[in-house]
Structure 1
């Protein structure tokens, strides 16, 4: 059964991984573009991109430069620290993502019954979290699942704060990816070597 599941996962990835170069982007460039489209304001740096891609900062900078040369990404200084740069999608980059080869797989997943979507998501998350813990690596995920997010108030008085960066976060940003994510239960697992 495990081999059959693995073959199905590889087959599903085959529907979009190797299609990337047909659109003028390598698979790594697609990964970077997808990540930057979903990353929060703290996670759009070359270092965070390198961490997400599992590569060096130099290699991530080359990928960002390739995306910039194609007009899909722009480098902008951070408002708080002009020495640091943020990698931001351009309008052309946002349009380009509409042609993402991964969209066909996404559409098939959307067509599933909601119960099956939740079951598949939870099962895959469990498998991947186990791989991350085993390799002692972190992954990007959304703020609402992160141990550093503090939520206070209700209704119009509701506000969010990241304990790690000691900064306020807009509610819309809590559903974006963060490269500094740490799950509520992960810290104990990583420290214990589970």
Structure 2
């Protein structure tokens, strides 16, 4: 239990890389969160309502954050291809350039250099979040590969090596480039804990 408590203390110290009071490179911590999410979000998740759900705030508050990022030239709104009444958000090339200065960059580099490996660290954190249960924390986003809504089927026309992926929630195909992107409708597959 002592090591677990120390690990939590260390995670709280690491939080300083993504939560801060003074702007970093001209952006607040919430503006950075918005920019990061939109850069990593799949096409289903680039809407103001998905963004509000991810950030854990109201659509009105997200609207203000988006206005600030749009004024700085980092984000733009476009009419949605699927629903002309809604908009799709995207990071501009200027926003991509700003992301190279992201305050969490050193944290990403430190995790990448871990001796135990970034994959093992990621999997351990995913396991911890799974054990906490979704009722104890706000909705989170993750990639399609870990989601209960992902289905795959071989496409005979493309051979066994090619797989076609579908999101059962959105009832839409997912291309391989989007498999690693974040989705706001993510639901973790239930792991069998009987073995350990």
Question: Normalized against structure 1, the TM-score is what?
Answer: 0.87
- Decide which moves more: 129-138 or 91-100: 129-138
Match of 1:18 in 2: 20
Q: Does 1:92 align with 2:94?
A: yes
Match of 1:151 in 2: 152
Determine the C-alpha separation between the residues in 2 that align with 1:88 and 1:57.
Answer: 17
Superposed displacement of residue 3, structure 1: 3.4
Determine the C-alpha separation between the residues in 1 that align with 2:103 and 2:68.
Answer: 19
Determine the C-alpha separation between the residues in 1 that align with 2:187 and 2:125.
Answer: 18
User: Equivalent residues in 2 for 1:100-111 (5 A)?
Assistant: 100-111=102-113
Residues 1:130 and 1:60: Cα distance change in structure 2 (over 3 Å): farther
- Decide which moves more: 24-33 or 147-156: 147-156
Taking only aligned residues, the RMSD between alpha carbons, in angstroms, comes to 2.0
Match of 1:182 in 2: 187
Superposed displacement of residue 161, structure 1: 1.0
Determine the C-alpha separation between the residues in 2 that align with 1:68 and 1:112.
Answer: 36
> Is the helix fraction higher in 1 or 2?
1
Match of 2:120 in 1: 119
Cα deviation 1:12-55 (Å, max 9, x = unaligned): 22244328713111101101110000000000000000000011
Local SS of the residue matching 1:151: strand
Match of 1:192 in 2: none
Match of 2:8 in 1: 6
Determine the C-alpha separation between the residues in 1 that align with 2:17 and 2:136.
Answer: 27
Number of residue equivalences:
185
Q: Does 1:140 align with 2:145?
A: no
Residues 1:65 and 1:130: Cα distance change in structure 2 (over 3 Å): farther
Cα deviation 1:161-193 (Å, max 9, x = unaligned): 11111111111111100001112218xxxxxxx
Match of 2:71 among 46, 69, 73: 69
Local SS of the residue matching 2:23: helix
Residues 1:185 and 1:72: Cα distance change in structure 2 (over 3 Å): same
Determine the C-alpha separation between the residues in 1 that align with 2:104 and 2:11.
Answer: 14
Unaligned ranges ≥5, structure 2: 155-159, 192-196
Superposed displacement of residue 132, structure 1: 4.3
Match of 2:157 in 1: none
Match of 1:164 in 2: 169
